[in-house]
Structure 1
């Protein structure tokens, strides 16, 4: 007998569908039979016995049955020899007596075997064949629609149900496969670092070539600070980003040593800011603050020598912002306000100098977000925060319209809607809060659908999933909330598997674990409380080792866990 297959079960599953959905059924059949279970899971004990290495064969009628046979007898024989039943759900399937008969027959033959629903089109009330929900039965459902789980996560849900293994492990394996596709970006980054080193060495070998080399090297540094950095963030390679920063810093130090001057202070400040941002992502606030203060010193000096230069003002404003951000994370509200207000003054000067510049519009919007965060979390003035967040939404919308190719602006707009939802919720304006959350999720979901290999977009989508899950749970819409919670948990697992030290991703994992253990929705399907508690303790331990002060944000959850929850 094949590993993980019940005695007498020739087929891993029977695929039931209406012939009008034949194209999608063939796709699903091909993907399920072609899926390979991760080696570390195959052969282990699962929820349904030994986890198989493959899910084949899966029976699909209209392909395996000969035209000349007694179809009814052969279908019944295939159902009798199937370990599970997968129902491809659509309005076509819901109206099909043949699909309904297959469900009834399978239940009659195998009362205890699982039935899985693959939602292709329509809501459950419109797409589930009537026997699927008979007697209060609730089949495991994978929503293959774009607005649901999507094809990738939906397929993994079906695989987990058929194999009897955890969904999170499969999501992590899927993420690793996507990582291999983006390794070319990492290799390109390494090549850029080698080129930078070569340029830096060559720059001092020939005095006559110094100016040309300086222009080339600074152009390369500009690429490292913008396009390359953006690509590395998308694929979650903070380790390469830190090395890129170190190389660029070394280049400037060597230049300054040779020239006997401080060189380009604005670019030095930008490098300090990126190094600080990476340290912040690692949860090391002390190191981040040291880099941001160095950036502030350099950008202030650049401002003194070029007070009318918008570029120098822009960079100096960012120095103020980043110092304020560290103080905000430490919940040192007064110090954060000092730097955030200086940042706001700089953004007002920038937008006055060029009202149609989308980059300046975004800075005004971020200044409004910062003020809103101080009002909501520091002063506890949700009404004032609401006004600030609405201002941010307006400016981000203007910036997105001015530059429709900038995905980061739309991500920022989604973030603003998320904060706006929090301010509404704090005022018990629940309908407005839900509308803002749905708008946030719609934006991020569309961006992720267009670029599913981006870890940055995956993180933003998981955050939006969690926000909707909590809000729907509090509104009494538990089934919908649990669906979003399940997606958020699976996606956060893929993120922390990619980079176990990313403090933002770890914090999301912790918050989700606390939601599952102590929230209204409970654990998602195929997720045990014991595993969630283990994940919570592991993520919290890593953040403590980072000396991350944000541990205080979930201290109550950890204390409750220690009391036996």
Structure 2
């Protein structure tokens, strides 16, 4: 034992002063009694015979047992111990005595604390607060044993579990980490934490898990050198995702033992992050497990235990439990709480007031109150910090302040109410909107958690002023997360212990649950490019989301609000169209019934009505369907085709030309919907059924309608096989389409059918081009150009004919370029550009002409670049970029245009003759950041990943050129 002293249970033993110190109450001992106590405590748990104590403390065993009995009795009186129910020194009958309380060597008194309040309020203890972190000695020791055992077994990974507010963060940072620091007395220790990294999962701010981990690991440092020197967080994130084994190997090569600690705090936030899928979470935990096995990195996880079902669903964490790597943090005992209250106060030279009426000391009252509270630690620390803030001039923590605060449980709510009540009315009224940003309720388990919104989410000045006031009162915290300023509650206990907030949460619990689910759906919808099929289906989901829009006190993000509004709009449009369709069929049914009643007396009248009904059906399959297609309402087209089939079934055995053509048109519409939805099997079945119906007319059809249906059927079959890359079958069907279109043109020789025939030649040319038969492809495209010119000459102002000609010229120019005829390609691209420029000027609101002109200039630039005309190519690319830039400004949601804009900027850089290397590198890096952000939003999009990789290669090349100068 050190002469300075040691701790025996709740007593500090002052060896040099021959005294016991019990939280400031000092009891003197006789020197012999101190010697006996020291000897027993040198051998804690061991039975020491009286003869051995005599020899050790009196130097002889000839005095008999009385001196020992006398010393033991004095020690028990000083310790408040009992021989019948011992807590410190136990008598073992006929054998001797033993020390049974915990013995810890330590300085005789806590060091003097001069760093302000020794209590942390709602903030966790950190490494710098280790000297005032008390009450968790046993938990720290047991957690340290688990960590060392895991590291020795080759997987330096441990998980700390406990309720919210149990002190998990403080235990790791102020308790465990200082005990893992390098120790000169143990140079061969398996863990010597030289570098500590902290990742707070609650601060993901919408970024990826790999990106957040990389932003922390990039700061890993050993012996004054960065482990990942020269690597940015973005590059390291890519390596962690694509090559984790290489990252683990680089860590393993840095040192021969565990010297880096990664503390992943508030792991539960990963399970409620809307941007993280189940696969993302599983991959993240697998990555942490792999890094923990490299022999250099210790990974410590802290998670709320109410998320245990999500944890054990991950194989690595289930295996970690089996290996003994889980540590369940129990609530503090009464003795632990006493140390948390008294020892920091003693270190800061504070005292606790004694109540003059009851004689109770304030520290005793605090300890008793804390034992009964489920939120003991955050509430106790906050109350103690408030007592410190309002302490007396003599350093006394006072009863009157304690009562004003409303005790431990009321302190948090009273303080918050005091702050809010002192604010102007406008700021008080802004509290529900702020709470809406802060509170999240899980969709599945109804758990209440705190969020960390950005300051930018605050819409009004009163909201911002309210948050600033609560931050100044230390009830909220403000911090920078992923370079974005944000704020949040200092501890989630505030959500439970502030009555106003608890009531608000209970009133809006269901709405908050709906918002959680809605946010996740909206993020998936936005990440997938805002497709219509990911909008909310009609029914309870849309109705619930629409009701949430009316709840003013529960805010929605702009993306979620847009998601709901579009879902509601789609539902209303569907209802109107379906109502119209159903109404039409009701009218049709009524009309048919009326005709049936009159059939016996007026067959000619019935026939007239039948023709009217078929005309209505023809309208629905023709003009009405054409009006639905620009709306993208494929589901309603499907509904129309189903209703049409139902009606045609009532035609019975009748098989005249009109009925058969209507059935064919219906099957073609079914095929169109199936192809658009990716259901090629359904589309093929419908097209083959239509082909069978048209077979009798294929050889000698004299009806323009039959020839048109035959041509459409063949063209659709060709397109379907082309999409399947079955070019032989596609070519056969496109040949059929050309044959039918040629025969149709001989019957109806007008511009529409010339244009249709040109489209058929383009399709067949596309098959030849895909098969690298460029000569054959050029022949078809030249025929298409001739037919388009004929149509334009017949109707010069028709934009569809002019657009068809431009399309054929584009195909022909592309084929010339692939054939090595760059000059011809440039000529065709130039004519295409002239046509499209005119169309754009004639119809400036039709964005398709602007888009097609941009791509025409792009193709022209490619041909000019291949022909060595670098300056001309640069001009073409610049004009194309300006057009695409305008398109992205007019429709920011179109990611296809944003990708093309980045590709055009890369093309422009390639044409620079004397580039500024530094400026070029900066521009490429900006493009890389933009492509990376888009790739994060759409992780399953291979085109975005390829673009990011290409930009990165270009950046490396530019960097090399800059360094070589």
TM-score tier, shorter chain, comes to 0.5 to 0.7
Deviation by residue 1:7-29 (Cα, 9 ceiling, x = unmatched): xxxxxxxxxxxxxxxxxxxxxxx
Match of 1:437 in 2: 829
Deviations 1:196-241 (A, max 9, x none): 322212322353436555444544444455545555555xx21x25
Residue number among 483, 486, 491 corresponding to 2:879 in the alignment: 483
Cα shift readout 1:137-176 (whole Å, capped 9, x = no counterpart): xxxxxxxxxxxxxxxxxxxxxxxxxxxxxxxxxxxxxxx9
Q: Per-residue CA shift, 1:75-95, capped at 9, x if unaligned?
A: xxxxxxxxxxxxxxxxxxxxx
- Tell me if 1:531 matches 2:961: no
Partner secondary structure for residue 910 of structure 2? coil
Report what 1:376 is aligned to: 769
**Counterpart-to-counterpart distance in 2, 1:562 and 1:284:** 35
Relative to structure 1, is the Cα distance of residues 287 and 386 closer, same or farther in structure 2, using a 3 angstrom cutoff? same
Q: Are 2:588 and 1:198 aligned?
A: no
Kindly provide the CA deviation profile for residues 332-370 of structure 1, in whole angstroms up to 9, marking residues without a partner as x: 21111111112122222222334x222321232122212
Residue 803 of structure 2 corresponds to residue 411 of structure 1: yes
2:757 maps to which of 364, 389, 409: 364
**Alpha-carbon contact 1:359-1:399 (below 8 Å) kept:** yes
CA-to-partner distance for each residue in 1:84-134, whole Å, 9 max, x for gaps?
Answer: xxxxxxxxxxxxxxxxxxxxxxxxxxxxxxxxxxxxxxxxxxxxxxxxxxx
Q: Residue 340 of structure 1 contacts residue 367 of structure 1 at CA under 8 Å; is this kept in 2?
A: yes
- Structure number with the bigger relative contact order (C-alpha 8 A, sep ≥ 6) is 1
Q: Tell me the CA shift for residue 415 of structure 1.
A: 0.6
Aligned match of 2:663: 268
Inter-partner Cα distance in structure 1 for 2:815 and 2:766: 10
Aligned pair in 2 of structure 1 residues 252, 456: CA closer, same or farther (>3 Å)?
Answer: farther
Aligned to 2:593: 207
CA distance 1:331–1:255, shift in 2 (3 Å):
closer
Shift of 1:385: 1.9
Greater strand proportion? 2
Deviation at 1:324, TM superposition (A): 0.9
CA gap 1:341/1:264 in 2 versus in 1, 3 angstroms: same
Within a 5 Å distance, the mapping from 1:131-280 to structure 2 comes to 194-205=579-590, 206-209=592-595, 211=607, 214-231=610-627, 237-238=631-632, 240-257=633-650, 259=652, 264-280=659-675
Residues 320 and 204 (structure 1 numbering): CA distance in 2 closer, same or farther, change over 3 Å? same
**Do the aligned partners of residues 282 and 216 (structure 1) sit closer, same or farther apart at CA in structure 2, a change above 3 Å counting?**
same
* 3-state SS of 1:308 partner: coil
Indicate if the aligned counterparts of 2:935 and 2:944 stay in contact, CA closer than 8 A. no
2:701 is matched with 307
Task: Name the counterpart of 1:451.
Answer: 843
Shift of 1:189: 9.6
Query: Are the structure 2 counterparts of residues 216 and 330 from structure 1 closer, same or farther at C-alpha, using a change threshold of 3 Å?
Result: same
Q: Do the aligned residues in 1 keep the contact of 2:671 with 2:683 (CA within 8 Å)? A: yes
1:162 corresponds in structure 2 to none
2:738 to 332, 344, 348: 344
1:42-121 equivalent positions in 2, closer than 5 A: none
For residues 364-389 of structure 1, the C-alpha deviation after alignment (integer angstroms, 9 at most, x for no partner) is 212221222122221x1323322221
User: Partners in 2 of 1:267 and 1:325 — Cα distance?
Assistant: 22
Task: Judge which range, 251-260 or 428-437, deviates more.
Answer: 251-260
Distance 2:725 2:622 in 1: 30
Classify 1:247/1:342 alpha carbon distance in 2 versus 1 (closer, same or farther; 3 Å). Answer: same
* Structure 1 residue 533: Cα displacement: 4.5
* Deviation, structure 1 residue 187: 9.6
Residue of structure 2 equivalent to 1:295: 690
Q: 1:254 to 1:456 in 2, by over 3 A?
A: farther
Q: 2:638, 2:673 within 8 Å by CA — same for their partners in 1?
A: no
How far, CA to CA, are the matches of 1:382 and 1:45 in structure 2? 59
Compared CA separation, residues 195 and 394, structure 1 to 2 (3 A):
same
Distance 1:393 1:270, change over 3 A: same
Equivalent residue number for residue 424 of structure 1:
816
Conserved 8 A contact 2:855-2:880: no
What is the alpha-carbon distance in structure 1 between the residues aligned to residue 730 and residue 668 of structure 2?
17
1:404 CA drift (Å): 4.2
Aligned-pair CA distance for 1:556: 10
Give the deviation of 1:312 after TM superposition.
Answer: 0.7
SS of residue paired to 1:528: helix
Deviation at residue 432 of structure 1 after TM alignment: 2.0
Q: Would the aligned equivalents of 2:641 and 2:667 in 1 still touch at CA under 8 Å?
A: no
Distance change (3 Å), C-alpha of 1:480 and 1:414 = closer
| C-alpha deviation, 1:264, in angstroms | 2.0
Is the deviation greater in 207-216 or in 520-529? 520-529
The alpha carbon displacement at 1:268 in A equals: 2.8
Partner of 2:551: none
Q: Which has the greater radius of gyration?
A: 2
For residue 525 of structure 2, what is the aligned residue in structure 1?
none
Structure 1 residues 541 and 280: alpha-carbon distance in aligned structure 2, compared to 1, 3 A threshold:
farther
Change (3 A) 1:335 1:509: farther
Whole-angstrom CA distance in 2 between matches of 1:202 and 1:512? 51
TM-score by length of 1: 0.54
Contact 1:482–1:524 (Cα < 8 Å) also in 2: no
Q: Deviation of residue 406 (structure 1)?
A: 3.9
Structure 2 residue runs of 5 or longer lacking an equivalent are 1-453, 457-561, 596-605, 912-919, 955-965
Q: Are the structure 2 counterparts of residues 541 and 413 from structure 1 closer, same or farther at C-alpha, using a change threshold of 3 Å?
A: farther
For normalisation by structure 2, the TM-score amounts to: 0.33
Q: 1:385 to 1:297 in 2, by over 3 A?
A: same
Q: Find the aligned partners of 1:335 and 1:364 in 2 and give their Cα distance.
A: 19
| Structure with greater helix percent | 1
- 1:392 matched to 2:784: yes
Taking structure 1 as reference, are residues 492 and 396 closer, same or farther at Cα in structure 2, changes over 3 Å only? farther
What is the distance in 1 between the residues matched to 2:923 and 2:864? 15
C-alpha distance 414-406 of structure 1, shift in aligned 2 (>3 A): same
RMSD of aligned alpha carbons: 4.8
